[in-house]
Structure 1
């Protein structure tokens, strides 16, 4: 059936002036037409959905999450030791929590044993209405390097190339390298330093690009960020210590940043990972603001990512607090994220021919960024989703299943 969303103020994700009293025509999973009321041809027996007084935006995009281990307590080893089936089930739950927030596309940035691929398969092969999942499978790291408990250890360009090929054969959508390693568990230890060298990362990224896969790099210290850019990364994840000079180089090369601000802010709290991690995270947040501002000033494309502990509202609030306008925040969760993930021909803006991923808000997010948390309706590939009927996830990992009475 053809649907017509009418009467809303349209914020299409491209950063331009909102369109009052707009109409968006959807058929099956596609946007067919967009315009002001009265501009479009008569839609005959289409179903009209009156959104007068509401705000219509593109579906949000989370460019960095860890769905199978999201908001789990304990060390990395503890979090990786859960049963595979349980982790995939948690991943589905967390995907639905994303959908409740208006997120219709998620890039999973890596999981133990590559379980993000199992999660993606479980969702795509079923009738579950969930965000589109793009999966990085497992990251690459040095032997005993950062996140070695859950990722693949490689020490030479040849090993990196072989591991990348295996992940591509398994169906990975992205290839990830751990360019930096973070300690800071004890006073006096460095907060971040180089983990993987340029040659090893380049071997992985070159093969990935040959197979039309985009590449991401976990990188906090400025040297590791510069190394990852030199090696061919398409996006830098976190970028805490990003210098002005490296930010300018990223902008020149078209390398984007997914800062995951809210994740590091939340990690200052007790998640069963030790006082050292809490102390480290508090220090990282102090530096993160400077790195973020350097990226913003250099014109680096910035996108939203929650990481395993953050969320969309905290991320956007922090982005605004640290210098972005509300419209820039909206672009970060829509078009910018789509560009960095290489899917801007499908999602990220509201335009004819794009996938019908939409979010209806109760009030104006440009006047008040908190309105991004007032999601009234989600449209995923043309299917109407009432967010009140989706899971609510609490900080300790508990879940309230659905709306009252169910």
Structure 2
């Protein structure tokens, strides 16, 4: 019978505690049945319509894959199966996805200074901490959109080897930028011309990049760089996209100003990051024809909603329904936080989702943007992003119904990556509209653990 957690279920929870971090990659979990009061499957067939299977509902997992979804009494009655019943008030949904993070940035008041004053050993330690923080926020897949010297590739190899508990990672190595352009300090400067652009893509592919990021416009983090100005010519962006697609890589374009956005859409990039329509006067001026072109092209948009947007909302610039307008125009919006930039800690993923709702999206649309739509944008729609037979068992279980309040996503009961259960190690402490100055990363000092305990590494 499937009911409350059995002895086997308890042993599973204990076996995936912090003490077994080094064996995560080699662990082959037994067959498991997970039971929750409600399940949000987020399957693409239900896109746009909130479907919640009320229950209880059971999910059968074997070898890291979802085998079946259905009523508890439809599951195999086998004493060798570990059963975990999360009980009344629980909601299971696909593991969350952050399409835009920077593991090498500390999320403090001045991430660039911290980065430039740190050696690679320290940066890798920070990246490890940040990857674990994402997992503790319920993020089971993340795309790192820029780190120096290929350090993101190093972290990805360690994650894939099971050396650290972390989300599935996609990496771009160093973002492509012009000489002295936005984020030049990450090492991705490219000579001018279409041939140089193609060669830069080829080098990134040869090193193991999963995607390409191009800085189509300037950005605020780099001194002397203007966010509203285009950096590359239209022809250079086309060359990057053409070469990347020939190699099977998707292209994410960092674009604030309308010229860079327009050129990126015309070149058929796969996603546009920020999409802010910044002007030389410091305002925001969306151009309807460009929005329409993005919607018609199917290009995904990541608005990188973060804590700083709370100040924007108070000023009502852009209007609080700006994401609603994009959705109504047919733009495909995905969740991405830009985690690591100033005042944007990696563990505060849910804050970004609450921000997306504050700017006009429904809770269901936000959840889709953070699961199935995000998975499609990364080319992982067949692997993750929904709860269906054959998909990876990337799951989160929370206490409460996030369709009623996205804040319930902070009430994590469990996080599963490919069927392996992880105990959240870092607590989310911020709520929407709360602007904080986060402390700089200090090597050797672990972050605040769930339960409020501070602990130093030995």
Q: Taking structure 1 as the reference length, what is the TM-score of the superposition?
A: 0.88
Change (3 A) 1:182 1:380: closer
Distance 2:318 2:350 in 1: 21
Shift of 1:162: 0.8
TM-fit CA distance, 1:36: 2.6
In the TM superposition, 1:324-343 aligns within 5 A as 324-343=361-380
Residues 368 and 293 of structure 1: CA distance in aligned 2, closer, same or farther (over 3 Å): closer
**Matched residue SS, 1:176:** strand
> Counterpart of 2:386?
349
Contact 1:320/1:329 (CA < 8 Å) preserved in 2?
A: yes
- Alpha-carbon distance in structure 2 between the residues aligned to 1:8 and 1:383: 21
1:162-201 equivalences under 5 Å are 162-182=199-219, 192-201=228-237
User: 1:19 maps to which residue?
Assistant: 53
Of 162-171 and 282-291, the range deviating more from structure 2: 282-291
* Partners of 1:200 and 1:42 in 2: CA distance: 60
Q: How much does 1:291 deviate?
A: 5.4
> What is the CA-CA distance between 1:238 and the residue it aligns to?
0.6
Matches within 5 A, 1:185-334: 192-241=228-277, 242-262=286-306, 264-265=308-309, 286-287=317-318, 292-307=323-338, 308-309=340-341, 310=344, 311-334=348-371
Question: Which residue of 1 is the match for residue 439 of structure 2?
Answer: 396
Q: Residue in 1 aligned with 2:37? A: 8
- Deviation string 1:90-109 (CA, Å, 9 cap, x unpaired) is 11100000000000011000
- Give the 3-state SS of the residue equivalent to 1:199 in structure 2: helix
Residues 7 and 81 (structure 1 numbering): CA distance in 2 closer, same or farther, change over 3 Å? closer
2:91 is the counterpart of 1:91: no
Q: 1:295-345 CA distances to partner (integer Å, 9 max, x unpaired)?
A: 222121111111124332221111111111111111111111101001010
Q: Is the 8 A contact 1:240 1:288 kept in 2?
A: no
Specify the alignment match of 2:112 in structure 1.
Answer: 76
Query: What does 1:112-151 align with in structure 2 at a 5 Å threshold?
Result: 112-151=148-187
Q: Is the 8 A contact 2:96 2:371 kept in 1?
A: yes
How many Å separate the matches in 1 of 2:78 and 2:316?
51
2:331 and 2:41 map into 1 onto residues whose CA distance is: 21
Equivalent residues of 1:80, 1:150 under 8 A apart? no
The Cα RMSD (Å) is: 2.7
Q: Check 1:153–1:184 CA distance in 2 against 1; reply closer, same or farther (3 A cut).
A: closer
- 2:65 counterpart of 1:30: yes
SS at match of 1:24: strand
**Quick check: 2:105–2:111 contact (8 Å CA) kept in 1?**
no
- The unaligned stretches of length 5 or more in structure 2 are 1-29, 44-48, 278-285, 430-436
Residues 372-393 of structure 1, C-alpha deviation per residue, up to 9 Å, x if partnerless? 1111111111111111x35779
Change in 2 beyond 3 A, CA 1:314/1:183: closer
Whether 1:361 and 2:398 are equivalent positions in the alignment is yes
Q: Distance in 2 between matches of 1:174 and 1:285?
A: 35
Determine if contact 1:243/1:294 at 8 Å carries over to the other structure: no
Separation in 2 of the partners of 1:2 and 1:56? 18
Deviation at 1:84, TM superposition (A): 1.1
Q: Structure 1's 373 and 7: CA in aligned 2 closer, same or farther, altered over 3 A?
A: closer
- 1:114 to 1:185, Cα distance in 2 relative to 1, 3 A: closer
Q: Distance in 1 between matches of 2:71 and 2:273?
A: 38
CA drift of 1:293 comes to 4.0
Q: Cα distance 1:400–1:190, how it changes in 2: closer, same or farther (>3 A)? A: closer
* Local SS of the residue matching 2:143: strand
> Match of 1:275?
none
3-state SS, counterpart of residue 194 of structure 1: coil
Q: Structure 1: which 5+ residue stretches go unaligned?
A: 269-280
TM-score with structure 2 length normalisation?
Answer: 0.79
Instruction: Note if contact 2:114-2:440 (Cα within 8 Å) is conserved in structure 1.
Output: no
Where does residue 278 of structure 1 map in the other structure?
none
3-state DSSP class of the match of 1:34? strand
- Are residues 320 and 104 of structure 1, via their aligned partners in 2, closer, same or farther at CA, if it must alter by over 3 Å? same
Q: Output one character per residue of 1:36-80: Cα deviation in whole Å (capped at 9) or x when no partner.
A: 333445445311111222000000001000011131443636524
Q: Are the equivalent residues in 1 in contact too, given 2:42–2:51 (CA < 8 A)?
A: no
Instruction: Return the offset for 1:166.
Output: 0.6
> How many angstroms apart in 2 are the aligned matches of 1:170 and 1:71?
27
Equivalent pairs counted in the alignment come to 390
